[in-house]
Structure 1
Amino acid sequence: MTVIVGLTGGIAMGKTTISQFLKSKAIPVVDADQIAHEILTVDEVKVKLMDTFGESILDKNQNIDRRKLGPIVFNDQRQLEKLNIIVQPYIRTEIVRQLDTFSASKVVVLDAPVLFEQGYEKMVDYLMVIKTSAQIQVERLMQRDSLNEIDAQKRIQAQMPIEEKVKKADIVIDTSGTIEETRSQVVKWLVDKNLF
C-alpha cells in the first residue's frame, strides 16, 4: 500500500527545495502549486475568474496573469475566498487523479502549501511541515517574488500561522541551516519510517 506524505509549510520556507530533492531521489511528488497554475489555463476556470474579478486580470495574450490576480486576492480575504471557491474543486480533482497514478509506489508526496487550509491532511498518512524563522521567510519571499516587505507580509498572513501547522506535524524540518542540513533531516526521517 502506498504511503502518502503531506509536505507543507509557510510560503518561502524551503518546501520547493525539499520537493525537488525528493524528486531527485525518484520519489513521486504531486505538486498542488503546479496544478493550481495549470488550472488557470482551463477555459471554464478562466471564464469564471473573469466574471468574478474582471478582465483586468488578463495579460496581453488573454491568459490569467497571476501578478495581476495576486494583489487583488492577497489584499482582501473575501476576494481570496472567492478565488478558492472557483479553483479549489478543480485542484482537488486533479490531486486525487495524480495520487491514483502512483498507487504502485511505496511512497508519494503531496506538496501543498495550503494542505491544512484546504483539508488535504485527511488524504495523507504523515505530515511533514517545513519551517524557518520569520525573518528568513520574509527575506526569501521578498527576493523570490520581487515583493516589498508589506506585500510579503500580506501573503504570509493569508496562510495558516506556521505555529499551528507545526502542532499538527509528524515531522518538522527546519530549513534555517544549509541545504545539506535540511536534506539530512528529510532523509533521516524517511529512513526511520522505512520509506527510503
Structure 2
Amino acid sequence: MTGQKVVGLTGSIGMGKSTVAGMLRELGVPVFDADAAVHELQGPGGALLGAIEAAFPGTTGPDGVDRQKLGAAVFGDREELARLEGIVHPAVAAMRGAFLRENAQAPLIVFDIPLLYEKGGHEGLDAVAVVSAPTALQRERVLSRPGMTAEKFERILALQVPDAEKRARADFVIDTGGALDETRQQVAGIVKALERAE
C-alpha cells in the first residue's frame, strides 16, 4: 500500500470528465465513480431503496428511485437534503472503502467526484486533477444533452464552484478543448508523473 497515490478527478458539467475517466481506465488506473455508486445504490434492487422509501414515501418503485419525485421532495429544503445525504453518503463511503481495499496494490487510484470542491471531498487526497474546456465549448456540449435547457444549465452552474477557481486550486488541469488525442496525451503524462513520484 505504501506509495499509492489517491487522486481526485473533478470538473464542472460538460467539461469532459467522463471521457477523461475512460482514458484513465484504458491506462489501467482504477477509477471510483461516485455518481455510478449512487446510481447503483438507488437503482433497481439498490441497497438504499428501503431507507429512502421510509424517509421519503412514494419516491421509489420497481425501477429504483424516481429521481424526479425524490428531487422534488428535497429540492430547496436543506433539512430534507441533509436527511437524504445522511442515507446516501455513508453507503457511498463504504463502497469507496471496499474499492480501496480491492485496489490496495495499484500505484495510483482515482476518485471521480463531480462536486469535489463543493462538498469538501479534496481533503485527504494526494492531488486533484480538474478537467476543463473553454466556456463556449462547455455550453455547446451541455445544451446538446437531451432535456437540457439554457435555464437548467445556468442553475447547475450556479451551484458549482467556478471553473477558474477549480483550475487555480488544482494540482493538474486537463484541457479537453482540443482533439481527443491531445487530451489522451495529457492524461498519460499525468499518470506517468504521479506513478513516478514518491
Q: TM-score range by the shorter chain?
A: 0.7 to 0.9
Letter matched to residue 25 of structure 1 = L
Letter matched to residue 76 of structure 2 = D
For structure 1, list consecutive stretches of 5 or more residues without a partner in the other structure. none
Structure 1 runs (4+) deviating above 6 angstroms are none
- TM-score, structure 2 normalization: 0.82
Aligned partner of 2:186 in structure 1 is 185
Letter matched to residue 32 of structure 2 = V
Letter matched to residue 34 of structure 2 = A
CA distance in structure 1 between the partners assigned to 2:155 and 2:73 by the alignment: 11
Contact 2:107 2:195 in 1 (8 A): no
> Deviations for 1:130-160, whole angstroms, at most 9, x for unmatched residues?
1123332233223234311111222232233
Aligned partner of 1:58 in structure 2 is 60
- How many residues are aligned here? 193
CA distance in structure 2 between the partners assigned to 1:152 and 1:92 by the alignment: 29
Q: 1:182 to 1:80 in 2, by over 3 A?
A: farther
Contact 2:35 2:113 in 1 (8 A): yes
CA distance in structure 2 between the partners assigned to 1:125 and 1:17 by the alignment: 22
Q: 1:82 to 1:140 in 2, by over 3 A?
A: farther
Choose between structure 1 and 2: higher helix proportion: 1
Q: CA deviation at 1:22?
A: 1.0
Letter matched to residue 163 of structure 2 = I
Letter matched to residue 139 of structure 1 = E
| Residue 76, structure 1, aligned to residue 100, structure 2 | no
Aligned partner of 2:140 in structure 1 is 139
- TM-score, structure 1 normalization: 0.83
For structure 2, list consecutive stretches of 5 or more residues without a partner in the other structure. none
Contact 1:173 1:185 in 2 (8 A): yes
RMSD, matched Cα? 2.6
